[in-house]
Homo-oligomer: A and B are copies of this chain.
Amino acid sequence: MSTESKQVTLALIQAKADSDPATNLQATLSKVEQSAADGANIVCTQELFATEYFCQSEDHDNFHLAESIPGATTEAFQRLAKRCGIVIIVSLFEKRSAGLYHNSAAVIDADGSLLGIYRKMHIPDDPLYHEKFYFTPGDLGFRAWDTRFGKIGVLICWDQWYPEAARLTAMQGAELLFYPTAIGWHPSEKEKYGEQQRDAWQTIQRSHAVANGCFVASVNRVGHETPVGGDGIEFWGGSFVAGTSGEILSQAGLDESVLLLEVDLGIVDTTRTHWPFLRDRRIDAYSGLTSE
């Protein structure tokens, strides 16, 4: 257990969204700044933090919520990252060009530079989660970025359910996978299926830590949003960080909170030699994964 220690402090911003994007932006900038004051090195927002989860309906007006990357929001976070010397992952509704939109995350390094963007690769479409109406599936593939505080990957919400996404990101070198997320209960299903649904969501993400010997940090929103009436969605919070064997290191509840946690990325190397799964992959036998 002599691997070099690489201590890094994470902050996960779990929040309730206001109907006003400017309010959300200001509140999130403040929380990120406070996290930095509290010792955070890498901060991650929840999915589409700037808005309510507008995908509950298919409404062309919502395309006005999108913005370019770089743009006003990423520039605000870039200034903050530089001033505080922290890495920030910002989840945004990206307008790439007229008629072409993505569900994206900007990765900003501690010097304020925009290292790159990840565009959500797997797009869901379910009752109240009409994402295929808004978002073109990502075109940039699975990536990892060498930030000042560690090599990280970013995946977004529905990507959580795909071991392929975690594997490919880890194979790019990511020691830590961030998942900005917006998932919750249909109120009518909560009593019967709620606990099982949240447990499945946590289990699949913990399994990515296990399979790849890396850390996983998942950042979910809270609050009961009913922007188009009806029962709406009760976002289930539960943001968490899992260690390299899938163990829960810290977990938020159902309230707004900033989950602050120090982890040692040096453990990744130790875990991967003690549980050498990557060694024994059968790349000669996996071609079916790309054909159906």
Binding site for B on A (CB under 8 A): 121-124, 126, 137, 141-142, 158, 161-165, 167-168, 171, 196-197, 199-200, 203-204, 206-207, 210-211, 245-247, 275-277, 280-292
Enumerate the 4 nearest inter-chain pairs by beta-carbon distance, A residue then B residue, closest first: A207-B207, A163-B163, A200-B245, A204-B210
CA distance A196 to B121 in the complex (A): 32
Given contacts A203-B246, A207-B207, 19 further A-B contacts (CB under 8 A): A122-B280, A142-B288, A161-B210, A161-B277, A162-B211, A163-B163, A163-B164, A164-B281, A164-B282, A164-B289, A165-B282, A171-B288, A197-B245, A200-B246, A204-B210, A204-B246, A206-B207, A284-B290, A286-B289
Q: With contacts A124-B280, A246-B200 known, is A292 near B163, CB below 8 A?
A: no
Tell whether, in the assembled complex, residue B161 and residue A289 are in contact, meaning their CB atoms are under 8 Å apart: no
Q: Which B residues are CB-close (under 8 A) to A286?
A: 164, 168, 289-290
**Among B126, B283, B289, which residue has its beta carbon within 8 angstroms of that of A168?**
B289
A-B contact list, 9 entries, CB within 8 Å: A162-B281, A162-B282, A163-B167, A164-B289, A165-B282, A168-B288, A199-B246, A200-B245, A289-B289
CA distance A123 to B196 in the complex (A): 33
CA distance A92 to B142 in the complex (A): 39
Q: With contacts A161-B210, A163-B207 known, is A290 near B292, CB below 8 A?
A: no
Q: With contacts A123-B280, A204-B207, A210-B200 known, is A285 near B161, CB below 8 A?
A: no
Q: Which B residues are CB-close (under 8 A) to A289?
A: 164, 167-168, 283, 286, 289-290
Tell whether, in the assembled complex, residue A245 and residue B280 are in contact, meaning their CB atoms are under 8 Å apart: no
Give the shortest distance, in Å, between A186 (CB) and chain B (any CB). 11
Q: Which B residues are CB-close (under 8 A) to A245?
A: 196-197, 199-200
Most chain B CB within a 10 A radius of its CB, from A122, A282, A283, A288: A282
Give the shortest distance, in Å, between A163 (CB) and chain B (any CB). 3
Tell whether, in the assembled complex, residue B203 and residue A141 are in contact, meaning their CB atoms are under 8 Å apart: no
Give the shortest distance, in Å, between A155 (CB) and chain B (any CB). 12
Q: Which B residues are CB-close (under 8 A) to A291?
A: 283
Tell whether, in the assembled complex, residue B285 and residue A141 are in contact, meaning their CB atoms are under 8 Å apart: yes
Tell whether, in the assembled complex, residue B141 and residue A247 are in contact, meaning their CB atoms are under 8 Å apart: no
Give the shortest distance, in Å, between A90 (CB) and chain B (any CB). 23
Give the shortest distance, in Å, between A216 (CB) and chain B (any CB). 12
Q: Which B residues are CB-close (under 8 A) to A168?
A: 285-286, 288-289
Q: Which B residues are CB-close (under 8 A) to A285?
A: 121, 141-142, 168
